[in-house]
Structure 1
Amino acid sequence: MTTLLVSHPASLDHLTPPGHPERPDRMRAVAQVLGESRFDTLLREEAPEGSLDLVRLCHDERYVEELRHIAPDKGLIYLDGDTSMSPGTWEAVMRGVGGAVAATEAVMSGKADNAFVAMRPPGHHAEINRPMGFCFFDHAAIAARHAQRKYGIARAAVVDFDVHHGNGTQDIFWADATMMYCSTHQMPLFPGTGASGERGEHDTIVNAPLAPNDGSARFRAAFDNLILPQLTKFAPELIVVSAGFDAHRRDPLANINLDAEDFGWVTRKLMDLAGKSAGGRIVSVLEGGYDLQGLKESVAAHVTALMGA
């Protein structure tokens, strides 16, 4: 199994206020664990900058232009109570877009069997026309739409196991019959969306909300009993994973209380499904995960599974 790791030092240059959970140390933790000898066989590439044309696959042009022009030359500007921009944010965001697309191209072309994109800031809360929840552009959604446009695939799916619901991805795909969005997430919790009755215009939105302290058994049951059967029926030709690791029991922002091996388990399940309908093609994009030790353990389990180890 050939797994591509895409990253770039620019992800360290998106600065957030002191004490903010979405901080550059997250990338240092990921780089540290994936630098261990057990990951020596990973292919490694730097994320290129994405283009505005790619961003417009999922976001309104006016929003894209406004965000580009308000990026500061110094200091921080606040877009909402959680989301701020520093002078390094724009490049970090655009390399996040470019990295997700480059990983998708590597997988679609057969250069790699699957890929993990280790970039920040995350993206799954970014709606069609607004930033939200630490996010600016939805890298996972952009990658899926790019695969459709360039490679002509009929159906793609984004599967999101971040502890927070990906309201942005749901917003982008709500009326799109060619895209499936599946999510496990804690409710009640930010951003307040993701009820099981939210199914999209074509029944291609699959939400499996979990309660605090539900733990591994109910997380796995949500996949086995709801998400995986719906994905199997949909038969995606590419799976993009919104890989948030903040459902880990150590994470400070939620309390579903998963273990690192739960992320390995769900990764293997998705790989099995992708093997049946998508030629094994999976692109995983980092989302949340705010306890550094929990993040390291979870990323290691996820990438180990992608490598087939």
Structure 2
Amino acid sequence: MKFLAYLIYIPLQIIWLPLSVIGVIMVGYGQLVVSKKLGVSQTAVEIINGRWAMDVFGLRRDGAARTLAAKIPNNSVGGLWLTFFPLWLVSRTLGVQLLYPTLPKPEKAAIANLVPSRTIVFDEIIEANVAGAAQFVVLGAGLDTRAYGTLKLSNIAFYELDQVADQAHKREHLAAAQIDSSHVRFVAADFADRNWINSLLATDYDPAKKTIFLWEGVTLYLSEQAVRATLTALIESAATGSVIVADIYAERLVKLTKSKAVSWSLELTDEEMEFGLDYSTDAEERLGQFVVSQGLRLGRNQFLGGNHEKGPFAAIVEMVI
């Protein structure tokens, strides 16, 4: 069936190519240029567009992401449709996922499909902890929409922490998209500031209640010192049994972003990548050592891209307090 899918897709994509190029330009302009003008994160757009694609292609339902993606001014859903239409048409007619978005086995995951691959793993770890949790705290929330989906039906208190400009941008367009956010406590915080935890503690957040801390797509933008300080702050301010669910990337991925081909786009919105672990050998041991060195217990974890000769490019890890 995949062979047939490619037989249909390739000539269709060749015919459609000029429109795909226009779509890429439209999306890129919004993500890079408009984000810079607004002073907000451009990588957050990349994440919500990945979630948009997963919903549109039927890989993961996320109506809030699909609706919000259409409302933020630093994005172009029209451009996304121009970019992905041939792939979507093949997916809908033959039920075959080609190229993007796809969900390969974790060990075969590639950087090109990072967002879908990591999203599913995060979902699984979160789902395994929801029943026993009283609070759900999203650190560096960006345009994440988990608090506006099925999790909203659980008896959990929601908190989203992010930098002032990014949070204001999100709240404005949640309202424009008519997505109810009244159940979420929004807290302004900068993880580069060692006192950020005080902002959370100043709310009705209860350190005595078991909490899920979601820290997705953030650690690689911080220094190692800031990552460790954040983990220490959480340990000191959360109940025993709480979990921190985070992605920790490989040094080789961080180094890749230092190339001129990648770094210029990140520099537009001051989002330079810094922190990663050496997964080239004994990746599980390296990850475990890091977690234990922080006084945490290693829980569920999944490496992405483990079949690569240089080791996995990322790990999604549950760290238990």
> Which TM-score bucket, shorter chain as reference?
0.3 to 0.5
Greater helix percent: which structure? Answer: 2
TM-score, normalisation: structure 2: 0.40
Name the larger-Rg structure: 2
